[in-house]
Structure 1
Amino acid sequence: MFAKIREPDSIETYIESPEKLKKLYKRVLFVVSLSQIFGGAGLAAGVTVGALLAQQMLGTDAYAGLPVALLTLGSACAAFLVGKLSQSRGRRIGLSTGFIVGGLGAVGVVIAAMVNSVLLLFASLLFYGAGTATNLQARYAGTDLASTKQRATAISTTMMMTTFGAVAGPNLVGVMGNVATSMGIPSLAGPFILSAAAFIFAGIVLFMMLRPDPLHIANKIAAYQQQNGKSTSSDTQKADNKKGLAVGATVMVLTQIVMVAVMTMTPVHMQHHGYDMADVGLVIGFHVAAMYLPSLFTGILVDKIGRTAMSIAAGVILLLAGLFAAFAPNDSLLMLIIALSLLGLGWNFGLISGTAQVVDSTEPSTRAKTQGKLDVLIALAGASGGALSGMVVASASYDVLALGGGLLALLLIPVVIWSKKSN
């Protein structure tokens, strides 16, 4: 009640003082970035050992892609719910709830490994996916108060901070495995202990510190501008917005399918060729670093040279990743590192350029809900890639999977060229 009484005065202050609004924008970026450090660490378990844990519990490779498929399916449901909750209650409530649910899911995975329950494992992975969805949706929070020329940079700033946790996580696989063993828990469940703590802490950071809520401020500012004739929305602009949403969604969906499919089966592929968990952690660490570390420069490039050029670059880089992975000698750790690094970089380019396009094409009054719906498509794309990846490798080979993913990524080029010609 107190917040509702104070908010109108606060809104007027931000409207009248661009300097104070700029200060709030920077504070929001800091808080979201802080949560992303912990959220990034929470991602590590599902990415690095999810497939291996399922392989161990099921005794077959054919369904090793199911963990990623399930957590991304859970991510799809969570993306919709977090987006809807954020639209009605603000980013603070939506994002903090999503992270905490993801943390509880990670706890469930640990329990499932202890009691050797495949059913509980699968159910828990669905909830764990909420943390993944929330970590991805947090990138939007930084754009609520950003100008058009700052949006990609804002997205990339929060994503870059994810690097610190996301790179540390895979490299702590061995350590957390030892910790789990010392507690009488299967070693492959160890990274999920880290995930539980990281996701829950990320949720607490957002709940305690994301005040005032940036989406509420953005909505009030947009309403004020409309009332004072400073904002218009013509039929042409609405048509362009629909086209922008379609293109942005396509870019993100295709990059997600390719990245998840190849990434999911890389640890299994490596294990079959004699690599140990330290090698797997190293390769995935480089991959995750390439997903997030270049973000700040990517955002600047997207804002400077445009969404279209960077989307095309994403397709080309993902093709190169597929070629390196497909033709790498089985005993070459370096080639796998290069392939997975390129895979992460291509995903980075595609996600940031696609996200910027989506933010450009939405209004604050419906932004969070629309973003949540689009992230459902991204999550479902990841679920499809994860589920099919194991089947492709079981029926053909890892090389076929990698090469097919690279060729699929080339579809980005005609899509963005079509959007350019249509304008």
Structure 2
Amino acid sequence: MPDTLTASLGVAEVARIQRRTVATLATGQVLGSVAFGATVSLGALLAADISGQDALSGLATATVTLGAAIAAIPLARLAARRGRLFSLSLGNLLALLGIVVVVAAAAARSFPVLLIGVLMIGAGNAGNLQSRFAATDLASTERRGRDLSIVVWATTIGGVAGPLLVPVGEAVGRAVGMPHLTGSYLFSSVAQLGALVLYLVALHPDPLLTAQRLAASGEARVEHIVEVDRPVVARYAIFAVAGSHVVMASVMAMTPVHLAHMASPETVTAVVGVTIAMHVLGMYGLSPVFGILADRWGRVRVILLGQGLLVAALVVAATLSGSEGGVMLALILLGLGWSAATVSGAALLTEATVTSLRPRRQGRSDSIMAFSAAAGAALAGAILGWIGYGGLALCALVVVAAVIALSPLGRRTASAAA
């Protein structure tokens, strides 16, 4: 179906296109996140296996984050010029090529080539992340948070399925003669290919190009198109999302290390696995609830709700750091706080930005979020060694306090922000 608009296109037709778009993006997010979940699970293991040094295992995770940070802005600019279909499809292709490179690196036992492949998968995931913004291109004000959160929630399925497929993938990989620890990438490549085909077939008309044309023509403007730019509000939204992500990533990254010193060698793997699984469930499982609340209560209120949950998480982590149950509760609250803040923050960024500038600011937000998380995780390691897990949690409160203190900027009116 060509991406054309007729003169009669109105609110009802835009709403129909939006429903189809959200369903397509949510399904594509499930498929795309399977590959990313497998990479997160296997990247560190492959890095340690190929390099022969456990100390280098963390480079795989860092490289995935770096790839997403580098690619976020270029993919967003491509979306602005060519549409969401082009940028999302390119992300899928990058991830597919990255999978091929990772498997080849495992076969050749080449650590540098492995990092290149992981970097490409991370770059592809930048496109996957931008799916949530694509869900807001044609969303009405009353449903913007809900539509965005549905796509975010879909990540739960792929994020859980990817790691769970690792044992089955290894068995299949051995049967077909694939290199050690790469069997799950068979499933990942099929999932990425499925997402690519889905977008090519179903993401028509392109939501961003449609929104840009509606903005130019004036059709459906009141319901779906943002005409007044509020740059101060947009900057606060970017800061709130990045700050919440830094808090979550820094504490979460150090949790397995902290638990490893608490649990017995026989149970540490299970304890870490269950704790991180509950954290991921907190991150994505209730995102539609926070999307609905953001639509009903307002974006800034739900950002502040997220900060309250983050405060609760950090206080629990600081006071119950010696308890496995306390750490698990802290990680659940940490995930919930992240979800509330990022869903409502992304919705606030979208509606504070005129249609023509959306992709650029959205890409900038994703890039800042990824770079900040990488820096935060690196700094968290030093803080953990200096003042421990509880001290790390208390340090993270500084970022939360800044997001709360600057929240009046998120309520600026159009005239005040111009």
- For 2:50 and 2:258, locate their aligned partners in 1 and report how far apart those are by CA, in whole Å: 18
Q: Which moved more, 1:102-111 or 1:117-126?
A: 102-111
Distance 1:329 1:55, change over 3 A: farther
Deviation string 1:51-73 (CA, Å, 9 cap, x unpaired) is: 45545555667665433322122
Decide which of 357, 367, 374 is 1:366's aligned counterpart: 357
Distance 1:25 1:420, change over 3 A: closer
Distance 1:228 1:249, change over 3 A: closer
Please name the residue that 1:244 is paired with: 233
Match of 1:380, SS? helix
- For 1:401 and 1:178, locate their aligned partners in 2 and report how far apart those are by CA, in whole Å: 40
Please name the residue that 2:37 is paired with: 44
Please name the residue that 2:207 is paired with: 214
8 A contact 1:218–1:364 mirrored in 2: yes
8 A contact 1:48–1:281 mirrored in 2: no
Decide which of 400, 407, 413 is 1:416's aligned counterpart: 407
Distance 1:419 1:358, change over 3 A: closer
Please name the residue that 2:2 is paired with: 3
**Pair 1:131-2:124 in alignment:** yes
Distance 1:319 1:95, change over 3 A: same
Q: Which moved more, 1:36-45 or 1:80-89?
A: 36-45
Q: Which moved more, 1:79-88 or 1:104-113?
A: 104-113
Correspondence list, 1:139-178, <5 A: 139-178=132-171
Q: Structure 2 counterpart of 1:185, which letter?
A: P
Please name the residue that 1:86 is paired with: 79
The two structures, once aligned, show a CA RMSD in angstroms of 3.2
Q: Which runs of 5+ in 2 are unaligned?
A: none
**Pair 1:285-2:285 in alignment:** no
**Pair 1:108-2:101 in alignment:** yes
Please name the residue that 2:337 is paired with: 346
Question: 1:308 Cα deviation (Å)?
Answer: 1.4
Question: 1:202 Cα deviation (Å)?
Answer: 1.9
Distance 1:91 1:302, change over 3 A: same
Please name the residue that 1:324 is paired with: 316
- For 2:257 and 2:187, locate their aligned partners in 1 and report how far apart those are by CA, in whole Å: 22
Decide which of 179, 184, 207 is 1:185's aligned counterpart: 179
Question: 1:167 Cα deviation (Å)?
Answer: 2.3
Distance 1:230 1:401, change over 3 A: closer
**Pair 1:313-2:305 in alignment:** yes
Question: 1:231 Cα deviation (Å)?
Answer: 11
Match of 1:149, SS? coil
8 A contact 1:51–1:268 mirrored in 2: no
Question: 1:330 Cα deviation (Å)?
Answer: 5.7
8 A contact 1:98–1:134 mirrored in 2: yes
Deviation string 1:252-277 (CA, Å, 9 cap, x unpaired) is: 11111122222333344445543454
Normalising by structure 1, report the TM-score: 0.85
Deviation string 1:156-214 (CA, Å, 9 cap, x unpaired) is: 11111222222222334444455556646334x55555444433332221122101111
Distance 1:233 1:337, change over 3 A: closer
8 A contact 1:253–1:378 mirrored in 2: yes
Please name the residue that 2:374 is paired with: 383
Match of 2:122, SS? helix
Distance 1:287 1:231, change over 3 A: closer
Please name the residue that 2:195 is paired with: 202
8 A contact 1:69–1:382 mirrored in 2: no
Q: Structure 1 counterpart of 2:119, which letter?
A: L
Identity between Structure 1 and Structure 2 (%): 33
8 A contact 2:233–2:411 mirrored in 1: no
Match of 2:211, SS? helix
Please name the residue that 1:301 is paired with: 293
Q: Which runs of 5+ in 1 are unaligned?
A: none
Q: Structure 2 counterpart of 1:308, which letter?
A: V
The alignment covers a number of residue pairs equal to 410
Deviation string 1:356-407 (CA, Å, 9 cap, x unpaired) is: 1110112222322331122211121122223334444455544443443344
Distance 1:320 1:227, change over 3 A: closer
- For 1:40 and 1:228, locate their aligned partners in 2 and report how far apart those are by CA, in whole Å: 33
- For 2:372 and 2:291, locate their aligned partners in 1 and report how far apart those are by CA, in whole Å: 23
- For 2:224 and 2:273, locate their aligned partners in 1 and report how far apart those are by CA, in whole Å: 50
- For 1:228 and 1:265, locate their aligned partners in 2 and report how far apart those are by CA, in whole Å: 47
- For 2:390 and 2:173, locate their aligned partners in 1 and report how far apart those are by CA, in whole Å: 34
- For 1:185 and 1:232, locate their aligned partners in 2 and report how far apart those are by CA, in whole Å: 50
- For 1:247 and 1:159, locate their aligned partners in 2 and report how far apart those are by CA, in whole Å: 21
- For 1:168 and 1:93, locate their aligned partners in 2 and report how far apart those are by CA, in whole Å: 26
Q: Which moved more, 1:196-205 or 1:305-314?
A: 196-205
